[in-house]
A and B are shown apart, each in its own frame.
Chain A
Amino acid sequence: VTDLLPGRTGSAVADDPTLLDAVATARRIEDGTLDPVALVEGYLDRIARFDPGVTAFVEVHADEALAHAADAAADIAAGVPGGPLRGIPIAVKDLYDVAGKATRSGSLSTSDAPATTDSEAVARLRAAGAIILGKTTTHEFAFGVNTPATRNPWDLDRIPGGSSGGSGAAIAADLAAASLGTDTGGSIRIPAALTGQVGLKATYGRVSKRGVTPCSWSLDHAGPITKTVADAALLMGVLAGHDPGDPSSVDRPPEDFAADLGRGVAGLRLGVSEHWFGDSLDEDVAAAFEDAVRQLERLGAIIVPVRFAHVELSGAICNVIAGAEAASYHSARASEAPELFTEDVLLAIRAGSLYSGATVVDAHRARDHVRAGARAVFSDVDAVISPTIPMIAPAYGSRSVMLGGEDTPILDGINRMTVPANVIGSPALALPMGISPEGLPISLQVMGRPFDERLVIAIGHAYEQSTGWHDARPALDWA
């Protein structure tokens, strides 16, 4: 199937560096065969051509990006050692503070005053040599899965997912080499899945959220959306690390997240749960997942049926905790200027404010049950695999989806299989698993034990490299 689609590899794209993944781009910049200025110019040209249709960016920092690219080129010419992301153009969800730029968080209710400092994640990217290309769209305050401003590059009449919809669409259309998203109930993995890219939500606390507009403090994660699993490992190596300025940051020693890329899956026990993760799938998604299971078996993995006890509580737990925390964060703003919020987000905030204190505590108590269920599963298997999303990208404007034959609110339908990893806090990776008959991406999720990102990455990389689904790109023939 991938032979029928435009790809990111092969002779046809050899002369267009914007189609390269971040690892290959970094290699070519360092060996002198790719000029960082020409690379940024290439991305700016693509943004000018394709972003009017997609609307992935809220602003493009062309002059700054070109200046930083020129600095990188000068350093390379002078033999100055560089970081692992030197010259790599990265797009940043408009929830992250970027010094000198306003953080609007997708909302009219926010200030247009520029941030005075970079968020920790952006600071880490810059320290590694990355070039911030611009800021991408988000569902308002990251509280939703549609990202209404943005269209899916595979089909402009479909949603790109959210809340990091701009960051997913930007990578799918090759408008940046990689991007940053945030994930409260799946908001990195959902747009990665619906746009055919790779999204990595690391263990809670791995990546600092200082300088990132919160959606829900105890469920939020920061992380990358990339073209390949190896790219996700590369970016996670830069982003992860203790930040005393973020109270949720975990103090762990630095890790090379790419260290086990060649490990393969031979002998690994991979759990498959029919309950919750397999009982409401669209037919094409179920078939693609069955193929993926067989492929991982062929690679040497041992497939183990598991039952993930209490996982069905995850959605309610997320709704209560995220709703209450969002209501707390937005209470003054929603009281003083409700007209500046979009309707769906304002209603979610209102609902969050209606939960009693006892119910919020119940949610935390129930969260322990889900966590205990995960402990039991991960005592038997090395990782759990499932589809990332039960269906392909819904039509633009959808407020509900069909889930197991029932009309379901779009949030509850789309994040059904992603939200458990937020409730547990464990790492989860979304990567391409197929293309539907409609020509839309289908995604595989790999969920691992807390702090076991390296194994999750190894599993994803082994599957990815054996199938090639990551090479498929949208035709973009609407431009």
Chain B
Amino acid sequence: VTALEPQGPGWAFAYFAAQGQRLGPAEVDALADITTAVAANSALLRSAVHPDDAPTAVYSAGEQAPALASKENLT
């Protein structure tokens, strides 16, 4: 968990306020659910990656299609 990941609804409220974002009542009410979901997704993905995993698709030189594994590489 990094220092920037949400620690709960109070943290998120302060985060948005610091950015000058206006939150409506429904948004404030939903902050607990939002931060729970964000934390769950973050934890799942953090646990899924190995320290040696490099995000090749994002940084591969000349790759035009970041979501793409070429057919040639698949077979």
Residues in A lying within 8 Å of B, measured CB to CB: 203-205, 218-219, 247-251, 310, 313, 316-317, 319-320, 334-335, 338-339, 343, 346-347, 350-351, 354-359, 361-369, 371, 374-375, 378-379, 422-425, 449-452
Distance in Å from the Cβ of A416 to the closest Cβ of chain B? 15
Assess whether A365 is in contact with B49, with CB atoms less than 8 Å apart.
yes
Contact of B45 among A320, A346, A422, A425 (CB under 8 A): A320
Residue of B nearest to A364 (CB): B55
Residue of A nearest to B6 (CB): A354
List the A side residues contacting B21 at CB < 8 Å: 334-335, 338, 350
Assess whether B37 is in contact with A449, with CB atoms less than 8 Å apart.
no
Assess whether A368 is in contact with B55, with CB atoms less than 8 Å apart.
yes
List the A side residues contacting B49 at CB < 8 Å: 362, 365-366, 369
In whole angstroms, what is the CA distance A423 to B67 when docked? Answer: 6
Distance in Å from the Cβ of A33 to the closest Cβ of chain B? 41
Assess whether B37 is in contact with A371, with CB atoms less than 8 Å apart.
no
List the A side residues contacting B48 at CB < 8 Å: 310, 313, 362, 366, 369
Assess whether B15 is in contact with A359, with CB atoms less than 8 Å apart.
no
Residue of A nearest to B26 (CB): A343
Query: Closest 4 interchain pairs by CB?
Result: A425-B67, A364-B55, A205-B65, A204-B67
9 contacts between A and B (CB under 8 A): A205-B65, A251-B64, A320-B41, A335-B20, A343-B27, A350-B16, A354-B38, A359-B42, A450-B74
Q: Contact flags (1/0) for B1-35 with A, using CB distance below 8 Å?
A: 01011100000100110011111101100100011
Asked if B61 is at the interface (CB within 8 A of a chain A CB), the reply is no
List the B side residues contacting A361 at CB < 8 Å: 55, 58
Distance in Å from the Cβ of B21 to the closest Cβ of chain A? 5
Assess whether A319 is in contact with B41, with CB atoms less than 8 Å apart.
yes
In whole angstroms, what is the CA distance A317 to B23 when docked? Answer: 26
Assess whether B68 is in contact with A204, with CB atoms less than 8 Å apart.
yes
In whole angstroms, what is the CA distance A310 to B49 when docked? Answer: 11
Residue of A nearest to B51 (CB): A365
Q: Given A338-B24, A354-B6 in contact, is the A450-B45 Cβ separation under 8 Å?
A: no
In whole angstroms, what is the CA distance A367 to B53 when docked? Answer: 11
Residues in B lying within 8 Å of A, measured CB to CB: 2, 4-6, 12, 15-16, 19-24, 26-27, 30, 34-35, 37-38, 40-42, 44-46, 48-49, 53-58, 64-71, 73-75
Distance in Å from the Cβ of A382 to the closest Cβ of chain B? 10
Residue of B nearest to A220 (CB): B67
Assess whether B69 is in contact with A374, with CB atoms less than 8 Å apart.
yes
Tell me whether chain A's interface is mostly helix, strand or loop, or mixed: helix
Q: Given A368-B56, A375-B69, A375-B73 in contact, is the A354-B15 Cβ separation under 8 Å?
A: yes
Assess whether B45 is in contact with A316, with CB atoms less than 8 Å apart.
yes
List the A side residues contacting B70 at CB < 8 Å: 450-451
Q: Given A350-B34, A354-B35, A366-B49 in contact, is the A250-B44 Cβ separation under 8 Å?
A: no
Assess whether B75 is in contact with A379, with CB atoms less than 8 Å apart.
yes
Assess whether B34 is in contact with A250, with CB atoms less than 8 Å apart.
no
Residue of A nearest to B65 (CB): A205
Contact of B34 among A317, A334, A354, A452 (CB under 8 A): A354
Contact of A250 among B42, B65, B69 (CB under 8 A): B65
Assess whether A355 is in contact with B42, with CB atoms less than 8 Å apart.
yes
List the A side residues contacting B58 at CB < 8 Å: 361, 364
Assess whether A365 is in contact with B20, with CB atoms less than 8 Å apart.
no
In whole angstroms, what is the CA distance A363 to B38 when docked? Answer: 12
Distance in Å from the Cβ of A223 to the closest Cβ of chain B? 14
List the A side residues contacting B2 at CB < 8 Å: 356, 358-359
Q: Given A354-B35, A450-B71 in contact, is the A316-B44 Cβ separation under 8 Å?
A: yes
In whole angstroms, what is the CA distance A218 to B68 when docked? Answer: 10
Assess whether A351 is in contact with B38, with CB atoms less than 8 Å apart.
yes
Residue of B nearest to A359 (CB): B42
Assess whether B45 is in contact with A356, with CB atoms less than 8 Å apart.
no
In whole angstroms, what is the CA distance A449 to B22 when docked? Answer: 45
List the A side residues contacting B12 at CB < 8 Å: 350, 354
In whole angstroms, what is the CA distance A203 to B74 when docked? Answer: 14
Given A358-B4, A425-B67, 15 more pairs with CB closer than 8 A: A250-B65, A320-B45, A335-B19, A338-B22, A350-B23, A350-B27, A354-B34, A354-B35, A356-B2, A356-B4, A358-B46, A365-B55, A367-B67, A369-B48, A449-B71
